[in-house]
């Protein structure tokens, strides 16, 4: 046995997470079993306490929130519903990833979350969008940043997102999570670009909207970013598109079916007008939004396109290579996509 | 050499306590829960106890209640290692005879300061 407390903690946490997983699986069958609830609580309590001792601050913070949920179950204020167990199993696997490969670049990703979720929130509504594609098809979408301008012609036409705008794509050190943003109205002017843009149907300056409310937004964070899409592997997306703020939770249903649970957010202290603006913009991004429906429709097309004609067959197209590190920070990069598949392959031992 | 008993179901925390106290010249005996702690207290001559609250089998509270029943340990200093979510148990522990608290996370120096103050 190693004498280093940090190494001892890693092993201990791995054992505790295994005990936690077993307790959660048993709770699915015996939701009223108090011993199981206590086991889950104690495992999380120790991970929190010991994790904080040895510098695993993010881990300890997360375990604290998780533990609080089980404390409520323990006190009889809540019960171990199937929904709770499902979320808890997800959270358990997240904790395991955090211990096995601590996320050194998470501050950048965390900054993206804090940039948006900066004040007390209120939930404006929630709903579920079901689509006929694999969950991994959906993961390609927010990582494939150039699809925004090809697929979502509304964005290009009305200038909400264009390739020439200032933008960035930030990945964590392991390529699991990605944070992408673009700033409206920063289109770089160049003769080349103007010439090319003139040939694009979507850049016709004569296109006008009858109702321009969908284009009006307030730069409420004061940094000019009108679009931020932040994706945490394996199941979470946080977006700010103009004034629409929402989280999307991706839940696989079968190899060819997935659910997206949308939760639309605003801030507790905002004026009613701002809430109306956010709700109006769900016509663009939201379970029945123009842009979001294009996303799921294209996921379904990609799934059908890659399925192959016979049983167990699949097709793929290798585009710009397999390199995980090149691609820079512009929107025109496959880097995030390649890192997603690499993460998945490594995790699944493929 | 004065001996300290560390009772914690977390091996990493026990190891950290052990390294800190042995480095300062104390002897250290370890136990993984309250029941083991009670046996260890009976088998050794212990000058101070550092114990966790939340443990399987016998928790920290039950442990010190049982310990205070033993004549030799009626007045022994007991230091609790707690977390912020242990507030209710903390009150009970005080009533059961805890001497001092240290909230996790803590540094080795903090632990040593408390131990030196209590047993020199």
- Do the beta carbons of residue A161 and residue A149 sit within 8 Å? yes
- Mean pLDDT over residues A118-129, rounded? 88
Residue A2 burial (10 A CB sphere; 0-12, 13-18, 19+)? exposed
Tens of each residue's pLDDT in chain B, 120 residues: 999 999 999 999 999 999 999 999 999 999 999 999 999 999 999 999 999 988 888 999 999 999 999 888 988 999 999 886 667 777 888 888 889 999 888 999 999 999 999 998
Q: Do the chains contact at A9 and B106, CB–CB below 8 Å?
A: no
Chain B residues within an 8 Å CB radius of A9: 10, 12
Residue A7 pLDDT greater than 80, yes or no: yes
**What are the CA-CA distances from residue A110 to residues A58, A97, A117, A119 (Å)?**
10, 16, 10, 15
With beta carbons under 8 A apart, name residues in chain A contacting B54. 42, 45-46
Q: Give contacts of A68 with chain B, Cβ < 8 Å.
A: 85
Structure confidence at residue A1 as a pLDDT band (50, 70, 90): low
Confidence of residue A133 (pLDDT cuts 50, 70, 90): very high
Task: Answer whether B105 sits within 8 Å of A52, measured CB to CB.
Answer: yes
How high is the pLDDT of residue A200? Answer: 67
Residue A236, number of CB atoms within 10 A of its CB: 16
What domains can be seen in chain A, in order of their start residue?
5-102 (1.20.120.160), 109-348 (3.90.380.10)
Q: What integer pLDDT is reported at residue A151 of this predicted model?
A: 84
d(CA A194, CA B31): 74
Chain B residues within an 8 Å CB radius of A64: 85
Residue A184 CA, chain-centre distance (Å), reads 22
Higher pLDDT among residues A217 and A329, named by residue: A217
Q: How far apart are the first and last CA of chain A?
A: 31
Residues of A in contact with B81 (CB under 8 A): 49
Mean pLDDT on A314-342: 75
Average pLDDT over all residues of chain A? 85
Tell me if B49 sits within 8 A of B26, measured CB to CB.
no
Burial class of residue A66, CB neighbours in 10 A (0-12, 13-18, 19+):
buried
The yes-or-no verdict on residue A161 having pLDDT over 90 is no
Work out whether strand B48-52 and strand B3-7 pair parallel, antiparallel, or are unpaired.
parallel
d(CA B66, CA B70): 7
CA-wise closest residue to A229 among A158, A187, A318, A291: A291
Q: Give Cα B67 distance to the centre of its chain.
A: 11
Least CB-CB distance to B13: which of A3, A50, A64? Answer: A50
Nearest to B11 among A8, A52, A71 (CB): A8
Residue A62 CB contacts under 8 Å (≥ 6 apart), including other chains: A91, A94, A95, A98
| Record: contact A5-B19, CB cut-off 8 A | yes
Q: Please judge whether A5 and B13 are an interchain contact, meaning their C-beta atoms are less than 8 angstroms apart.
A: yes
Q: What is the pLDDT of residue A106?
A: 64
Which ipTM did the prediction report?
Answer: 0.86
Q: pTM for the whole thing?
A: 0.64
Q: Are A52 and B12 an interchain contact pair (Cβ–Cβ within 8 Å)?
A: no
Contacts of A54 in chain B (CB under 8 A): 12, 16
Confidence check: pLDDT of A103 > 70: no
Query: DSSP per residue over A20-54, as a string?
Result: HHHHHHHHHH-TT-HHHHHHHHHHHHHHHHHHHHT
What gap in Å lies between CA A306 and CA B90, rounded to an integer? 59
pLDDT for the residue A194: 66
As a whole number, mean pLDDT of residues A190-215 equals: 73
Contact call for B10 and A50, based on CB within 8 A = yes
Q: Where are the domains of chain B?
A: 3-119
Min Cα distance B51 → chain A (Å) is 13
Read off the DSSP letter of residue A56: -
Are A50 and B12 an interchain contact pair (Cβ–Cβ within 8 Å)?
Answer: yes
Q: By the 8 A CB rule, do A70 and A76 touch?
A: no
pLDDT tens across A250-269, in order?
999 999 999 999 999 999 99
The answer to whether A283 touches A290, Cβ cutoff 8 Å, is: yes
Q: Which residues of A187-226 are buried (b: 16+ CB within 10 A; e: fewer)?
A: beeeeeeeeebeeeebbeeeeeeeeeebeebeebeeeebb
φ and ψ at A294, to 5 degrees? -65, -40
CATH superfamily of the B3-119 domain: Response regulator (3.40.50.2300)
Tell me the per-residue pLDDT of A147-156, one tens digit each, with 9 for 90 and over. Answer: 877 888 888 7
pLDDT computed for residue A105 by the predictor: 47
- Laid out side by side, the sheet with B3-7 consists of B27-31, B3-7, B48-52, B78-82, B100-103
> DSSP alpha helices (H): ranges in chain A?
5-29, 34-53, 57-74, 82-100, 106-116, 135-143, 147-151, 153-157, 191-197, 272-280, 290-306, 335-348
Asked if the Cβ–Cβ distance from B54 to A46 is below 8 Å, we say yes
- Our CA angle for A85, A90, A94, nearest 5°, is 140
Q: Do B104 and A50 touch (CB under 8 A)?
A: yes
- Angle between helix axes A290-306 and A135-143 (nearest 10 degrees) is 120
Asked if omega into A105 is within 30° of 0 (cis), the reply is no
């Amino acid at each position: 046995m190693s004498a280093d407390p940090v190494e001892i903690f890693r092993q201990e946490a791995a054992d505790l997470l295994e005990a936690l997983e077993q307790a959660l699986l048993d709770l699915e069958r015996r939701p009223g079993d108090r011993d199981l609830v206590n086991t889950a609580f104690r495992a999380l309590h120790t991970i929190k306490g010991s994790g904080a001792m040895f510098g695993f601050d993010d881990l300890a913070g997360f375990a604290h929130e998780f533990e609080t949920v089980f404390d409520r179950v323990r006190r009889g204020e809540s019960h171990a519903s199937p929904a709770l167990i499902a979320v808890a199993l997800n959270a358990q696997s997240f904790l395991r990833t955090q211990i096995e490969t601590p996320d050194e670049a998470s501050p950048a990703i965390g900054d993206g979350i804090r940039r948006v979720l900066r004040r007390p929130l209120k939930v404006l509504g929630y709903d579920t969008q079901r689509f006929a594609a694999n969950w991994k098809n959906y993961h390609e979408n927010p990582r494939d940043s150039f699809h925004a301008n090809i697929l979502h012609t509304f964005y290009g036409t009305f200038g909400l997102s264009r390739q020439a705008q200032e933008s960035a794509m930030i990945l964590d050190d392991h390529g699991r999570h990605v944070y992408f943003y673009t700033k409206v109205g920063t289109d770089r002017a160049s003769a080349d670009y103007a010439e090319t843009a003139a040939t694009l149907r979507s850049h016709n300056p004569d296109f006008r909207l009858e109702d321009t409310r969908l284009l009006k937004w307030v730069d409420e964070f004061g940094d000019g970013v009108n679009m931020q899409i932040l994706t945490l592997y394996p199941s979470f997306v946080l977006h700010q598109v103009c004034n629409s703020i929402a989280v999307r939770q991706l839940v696989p249903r079968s190899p060819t079916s997935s659910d997206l649970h949308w939760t639309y957010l605003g801030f507790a202290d905002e004026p009613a007008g701002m809430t109306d603006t956010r709700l109006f913009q769900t016509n663009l991004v939201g379970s029945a939004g123009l842009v979001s429906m294009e996303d799921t429709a294209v996921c379904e097309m990609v799934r059908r396109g890659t399925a192959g004609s016979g049983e167990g067959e699949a097709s793929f197209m290798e585009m710009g290579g397999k390199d995980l590190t090149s691609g820079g920070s512009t929107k025109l990069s496959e880097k995030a996509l390649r890192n997603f598949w690499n993460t998945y392959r490594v995790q699944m031992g493929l | 050499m004065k001996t300290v008993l560390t009772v914690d179901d977390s091996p990493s925390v026990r190891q950290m306590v052990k390294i800190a106290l042995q480095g300062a010249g104390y002897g250290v005996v370890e136990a993984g829960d309250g029941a083991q702690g009670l046996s260890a207290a009976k088998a050794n001559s212990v000058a101070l106890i550092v114990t966790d609250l939340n443990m399987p089998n016998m928790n920290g509270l039950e442990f010190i209640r049982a310990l205070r029943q033993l004549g030799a340990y009626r007045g022994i200093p007991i230091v609790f290692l707690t977390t912020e979510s242990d507030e209710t148990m903390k009150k009970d522990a005080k009533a059961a005879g805890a001497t001092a608290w240290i909230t996790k996370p803590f540094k080795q120096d903090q632990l040593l300061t408390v131990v030196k103050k209590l047993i020199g």
